[in-house]
Amino acid sequence: MTRFSANLGFLWADLPLPQAIRAAHRAGFDAVECHWPYEVPAADLAAALAETGLPMLGLNTRRGRPGENGLAALPGREAEARAEIGRAIDYAAGIGCGAVHVMAGFAEGQVAERVLLANLDHACRLARPHGITILIEPLNRYDAPGYFLTGSEQAARIIEAAGHDNLRLMFDCYHMQIMEGDITRRLRTHLDILGHVQIASVPDRGPPDHGELDYRHVYAVLEELGWTRPLGAEYRPEGPTGETLGWLSACISG
- Which listed residue (33, 84, 113, 137) is catalytic? 137
Q: What does the alpha-carbon distance between residue 1 and residue 190 come to, in Å, rounded to a whole number? A: 22
Residues 6+ apart with CB under 8 A from 62: 36, 38, 71, 84, 87, 88, 103
| Other beta carbons within 10 Å of 103 | 30
Q: What is the DSSP letter of 226?
A: T
Helix (H) or strand (E) holding 247: helix 246-253
Q: Is 51 a catalytic residue?
A: no
The answer to whether 212 is a known catalytic residue is no
Taking a C-beta distance cutoff of 8 angstroms, is the pair 187, 180 a contact? no
The residues, any chain, with a CB within 8 Å of residue 212's CB and separated by 6 or more, are: 177, 201, 202, 203
d(CA 178, CA 176): 5
Catalytic one of 113, 212, 234, 238 = 234
Residues with catalytic roles = 137, 234
